[in-house]
Amino acid sequence: MARDFTADIEDPIAREVIANVGTWVDKEVRPVASEFEHADEYPDPLVKGMSEMGLFGIKIPERYGGLDLSFECYAGVCMELARGWMSLAGIINTHVLVGYAISEYGTEEQKQAYLPKLVEPEMRCALSITEPDAGSDAQAIRTTAKRDGDDYVINGQKMWVTNGNRAGVYLVMTKTDPAAEPRHKGITAFLIDHDTPGFIKGKKFDKLGYKGVETTELAFDDARVPATSVLGGAEGRGFQHIMSALEVGRINVAARGVGVAQAAFDDSIRYAQKRVAFGKPIFEHQAQQLRLAEMAVKIRAARLLTLDAARKKDSGERSDLDAGMAKLYATEIAQQCVLDAMRIHGGVAYSKELPLERYYRDAPLMIIAEGTSDIQKIVIARSIVKDYPV
């Protein structure tokens, strides 16, 4: 039995939801996660379980059939999912993020068309920003959308699309005015259905970790979409809409960092009390106590920072600074904690029989995706300097 962290959650409904997800993770996810992961198999029964708990509708407004719970609750749920298997929190990430973008910025027609479907078990969402020549510098994308009567015609290539094969709807960043200055004014986001002619699903990447969930290439070859598929109905606002939605994504990835670090810690503190060296459990050697104490403090700080960012998003205020801090810290400490967990486990850490090797392969993704740690630092620095005008 691990420590109960739900006391950190202010809202009693959220506390109950998170506790239920945690129980489900211990019972249904942890026993099978490595098997699915080693086979790189999409975890259909686990995704079904998440759907039955209503998690895919966690941020969908009630009037469209969702649970409409807080970001605080969402963050706690993602911590628990990642404590079981980080990929599950990845499957839900772009889904919730796209649902948020539609709820916040979509036209009423788009909300009615998509939001009720996002609660359904079959319907996943994907977010497609990254291209072969544009990652951190998202405004450098080259995918174009040209107006043609009542339609737009889209051409370009996308990379690293999570849920790329299975999604029903894709939120895609394009340029409607490639010459615009500043560049973001020429960026428009589209909601594109999976079966749009000219929309081609490409190869699935063979990844170091973050397995089970597919990450793919996509291409648009004269893909024709109606003008009504522009998110929010007006050109030139796609960059702001997607950056706001990325705050939700960064809360998710921060929570994943907490979950993976917590799993590594839980395994380590149990192991340290059982494994004997030089006549006593290794936990009794002070070096291991110091290591575990440092891990515990880092995870606690990351948890509180992540919940703080989630509460800021709940307040409706801009939370790029808070989400950036949480994402930076929680993912960097996850990387450190997983390596410390390997040191505590010694040789057995290197065996594929323990889930630790999976945490070790999963951790680096979180310092890269949804904006690298360098990019988070830039976001943080640009925000905090505003408080110190000279």
Ligand X SMILES: Cc1cc2nc3c(=O)[nH]c(=O)nc-3n(C[C@H](O)[C@H](O)[C@H](O)COP(=O)(O)OP(=O)(O)OC[C@H]3O[C@@H](n4cnc5c(N)ncnc54)[C@H](O)[C@@H]3O)c2cc1C
Phi and psi angles of residue 39, each rounded to the nearest 5 degrees, phi first? -85, -5
Residues 6+ apart with CB under 8 A from 15: 6, 7, 9, 76
369 near ligand X (CB under 6 A): yes
Cis peptide before 12 (omega within 30 of 0): no
Choose between 283 and 360: whose C-beta lies nearer to ligand X. 360
Size of the site for ligand X (CB under 6 A): 22
Kindly tell me which residue out of 127, 251, 305, 330 binds ligand X, with binding defined by CB under 6 A.
127
Closest separation in Å from C-beta 35 to ligand X: 21
Interaction between residue 207 and ligand X (CB under 6 A): yes
143 binds ligand X (CB under 6 A): no
Q: Which of 34, 130, 196, 240 binds ligand X (CB under 6 A)?
A: 130
Q: How far is the CB of 234 from ligand X (least distance, A)?
A: 22
**Smallest gap, in angstroms, from Cβ of residue 288 to ligand X?**
33
Asked whether the beta carbons of 145 and 176 are under 8 A apart, the reply is: yes
- Answer yes or no whether residue 374 interacts with ligand X by CB under 6 A: yes
Indicate if 284 belongs to the active site.
no
Q: Which of 72, 131, 217, 370 is catalytic?
A: 370
Nearest distance from C-beta of residue 131 to ligand X, angstroms: 8
Give me the least distance between CB of 160 and ligand X, in Å please.
Answer: 3
Ramachandran area for residue 186 (φ above 0: left; ψ -120 to 50: alpha; else beta): alpha
Q: Where are the alpha helices (DSSP H) in 155-278?
A: 238-274
Q: Is residue 210 involved in binding ligand X (CB under 6 A)? A: yes
Choices 20-28, 296-304, 329-337, 372-380; region in contact with ligand X by CB under 6 A: 372-380
Among 57, 135, 232, 238, binds ligand X (CB under 6 A): 135
DSSP character at residue 378: H
Considering only residues 213 through 252, tell me which ones interact with ligand X, judged by CB under 6 A.
215
String of contacts with ligand X for each residue 283-302, x by CB under 6 A: --------------------
Stretch that binds ligand X, among 43-51, 79-87, 122-130, 310-318 (CB under 6 A): 122-130
Q: Hey, how many other C-beta atoms are within 10 angstroms of the C-beta on 267?
A: 19
Work out whether 331 is an interface residue with ligand X (CB under 6 A). no
**Does 344 sit near ligand X (CB under 6 A)?**
no
Q: Are 274 and 345 a contacting pair, CB within 8 Å?
A: no
Minimum CB–partner distance for residue 174 and ligand X (Å):
12
- Cβ neighbours of residue 90 under 8 Å, at least 6 residues apart? 162, 210, 213, 256
Taking the least distance from each CB to ligand X, the nearer of 69 and 172 is 172
- List, in sequence order, every beta strand (DSSP E) within the chain: 125-128, 144-148, 151-162, 169-175, 187-193, 199-204, 215-226, 276-277, 280-281
Q: Residue 12 — φ and ψ, nearest 5°? A: -60, -35
Task: Identify whether the C-beta of residue 40 lies closer than 8 Å to the C-beta of residue 102.
Answer: no
User: Does residue 168 interact with ligand X by CB under 6 A?
Assistant: no
Nearer to ligand X, 282 or 365 (CB): 365
Q: Would you call 203 helix, strand, or coil by DSSP?
A: strand
> By CB under 6 A, is residue 170 in contact with ligand X?
no
128 binds ligand X (CB under 6 A): yes
In DSSP terms, 218 is beta-bridged to 158, 201
351 binds ligand X per the rule CB under 6 A: no
Question: Could you say which DSSP state residue 25 is in?
Answer: I
In sequence order, what DSSP letters do the residues of 333-357 get, joined into one string? HHHHHHHHHHHHHGGGGGSTTSTHH
The answer to the question of residue 183 lying near ligand X (CB under 6 A) is: no
List interacting residues with ligand X (CB under 6 A): 94, 127-130, 135-136, 160-162, 207, 210, 215, 365, 368-372, 374-375, 378
Catalytic residues: 370
